[in-house]
Amino acid sequence: MAKEGRANSTLRKAQWFLSLLLPAIGKMPITEADPQLLLATLKNWKPRGITKPPKRPEASRAVCFGLRWRRAAPSLTRQPYSKGALITPNAKHYAAILEPAKLAELLRAIDAYTGSPINKLALQIAPHVFVRPGMLRHADWSEIDLREKIWRIPAGKMKARKPHSVPLSSQVVASFLSCAS
């Protein structure tokens, strides 16, 4: 998977998932992995203190074995993960501002922020660029072209390992210029 250019977090999750299944499957070839054995192993997570199974078991199986499940074992078509087979915790939904008046209130609060100037600048830029906070925090001047009004994020910094271009509004360009001086 590292050869495929997967993100470090994906590699860590794959290792974690493999460590959960390893006691049950050992070095068993994928063609011999019985779906019922995998299901029984996954059902025993709770006693080991694991509260949350992987969100996408099909993907996790592929990750675990380092190859695509159906290509390697076309005879294993039955899904051991039918609905209800594994109990998953309820998803937590995080608050979002959906009302224009509340968004305006947030933007005014950001403008009135009296903390660190660089933090204030990041808070002001964030609604314009819609990138992850860590991406904004690790932005490099070499990636930002103020003349073309574009921020070119290299593939190595992106989760999907593909380069990404973010158009910059006039306000963001002005903010970057004020920061640079």
48 in the same domain as 23: yes
Q: Where are the alpha helices (DSSP H) in 44-115?
A: 57-65, 69-72, 100-111
149 in the same domain as 123: yes
Please, are residues 136 and 125 in contact by the beta-carbon 8 Å criterion?
yes
What is the total count of domains within the chain? 2
41 in the same domain as 78: yes
71 in the same domain as 87: yes
d(C-alpha 124, C-alpha 129), whole Å: 10
CA angle 65–8–79, rounded 5-degree value:
30
| Structure token pair of residue 53 | 């199974």
Ranges of beta strands (E only) in 11-126 are none
Tens-place pLDDT, residues 12-50: 877 777 777 777 777 777 667 666 676 667 666 655 555
Which segment, 33-42, 53-62, 84-93, 127-136, is predicted with the most confidence on average?
127-136
d(C-alpha 15, C-alpha 20), whole Å: 9
Residue 63: name the closest of 21, 109, 26, 116 by CA: 21
Under 8 Å CB-to-CB from 63, ≥6 apart: which residues? Answer: 1, 10, 13, 14, 17
Please, are residues 172 and 129 in contact by the beta-carbon 8 Å criterion?
yes
- What domain range is 118 assigned to? 100-180
- CA 59 centroid distance within chain: 14
54 in the same domain as 135: no
Domain endpoint, select from 66, 93, 120:
93
Q: Average of pLDDT values for 37-65?
A: 57
The answer to whether the predicted template modeling score (pTM) of the entire model surpasses 0.85 is no
